[in-house]
Structure 1
Amino acid sequence: MADVVNPENEDLQSQIEEVEALSSIYGDEWCVVDEASRIFCIKISSNLEEPKLTACLQIILPPDYPSTAPPIYQINAAWLRGPERAKLANSLEDLYVENMGESILFLWVEKIREFLVEKSQTSESDQPEKVNITTEEKVDGDEDIPDFSTLRLNTENLHLFMENANDEEVPPIKHGNPITDRRSTFQPHLAPVVTPRQVKMVLEKLCENKKIASATHNIYAYRIYCEDKHSFLQDCEDDGETAAGGRLLHLLQILDVRNVMVVVSRWYGGILLGPDRFKHINNCARNILVEEGYTSSSDEATRSGGKTKRPKCKKTK
């Protein structure tokens, strides 16, 4: 009797071979975070003297990668925001679609490196320490530290980001009232979403607005309820405002909202706000959720005060 080929074993063998190759190619830049959980990261640089840009690619390899699912990833780079982040994410997704079923990590790493080189060459003065980062973020100083807590959330569903859903329309986007404090302005945006593809469409639509695209940070979080699995697909993004996305997702969890995403744009005014910035982000997010009828439980969110344990964020995709 012929041996029955187990696709899972084939995928695992492909992953082992790919990781061995990447470790050999990239040396100390390649890091095994948790081999049992198939979690890895790699530090990528433009390889240019001045200006030199770097990014950290964090990866989880699902059991059915590479045969039927893409790697789950996020890119940490304090200078990478808005349209540029979306552009890079789109290029990685295009590479996956073009090479579906094949090992993709080497192509992704080199595509990111190519992006860094292009960014360095076209913006000589755009060094990481000179981009639009607030002093508050510089004090935090942990933008490039790998954090995989949110990547662990419903990883079995994250392949839905790659599904071809060209027939989907951009969900209606609501814009809430801004909050201004010491020249910093925070404005929430809300959209109903039922698929990860719609999350991406909403972000792209918001970035078409030049004012929103120019925001210092566009922090977001979403929760989608998967009826068939009775579980949530949820994620968040700091966009450089360290820990803000996790706090925002924590708010959505406390309010038990579903099938919605909230984006909070912050325009930094040059004066440090300290912890008040997190209060404003959550307050304006809670306000728009109440205004749009997703919850009336504002008191519960207020009591949380951002003091309970929160999931940290990327951060994507």
Structure 2
Amino acid sequence: MDDLSTQSEEIEALCSIYGSDWLCDDEAARSFHITIKEGAFEVTMYITLPCDYPSQSPPNLELSAPALSRLQKQTLALALNDVYLESIGESVLYQWIEKVRELLFEITSVKECDDTELDTKPEPVNENVLEPSVNDISLDICHGNLIQDRKSVFQGHATKVFSTSDVKLMLDSLKSNKKIAQATHNILAYRIKDKKTDCILQDFDDDGETHAGKRLLHLLNILDIYDIAIVVTRWYGGIHLGPDRFRHINNAARQVLEEAGFIKKK
């Protein structure tokens, strides 16, 4: 019964995150499928949940990816197996879906991803220039540590919000800092719970970094936290990072959420 309860919670979360992309084929048999598309490639995952998942058994999985080569399919299957082995006894479907999405990004995207990056270099970022502004005090904005890779710099910012006006105030407060205002991207996601209706208001802004805002919103959804706004600032350093930049954006977001106390530290 514990496994079935865990499955129900996981399915509900996946429906919330992926909406109509997550489809139920047979409710009694606990069979589902989802299609992940990136560029000219797509992968359909057909998933059936055994009664003893996740405590004892993995989900039964079939992949349909006609546009991928045999080697690419083998790489994908091995990656999903590794994800399961790292999470035995825990729900794994979200991690599987996002791993497929990540690998499709890598397959389709080095040029496509690089095209979305700007070629202008910002001024060098100083460790000391990102101190909270006066407005941060009223909003209690938490600033994460800087993550640096090949001259690009990433930093997360998070705060409690209770309205879209609070979200705007957060952005205005951050951009009152000249360095943040001149950053290449300020990627935003937020979730707000209406206290009267229990409905969730959520949205994101890529700010020119395609898919990045949606990934931040996915993170907030899977963590099931609300009344939160998060911004990840990126200063592009002139060297293309390809898909690595999404990993840094995610890490910057998780780090500041932990630092602010919104999620438990690992």
The TM-score, its normalising length taken from structure 1, stands at 0.41
The TM-score, its normalising length taken from structure 2, stands at 0.49
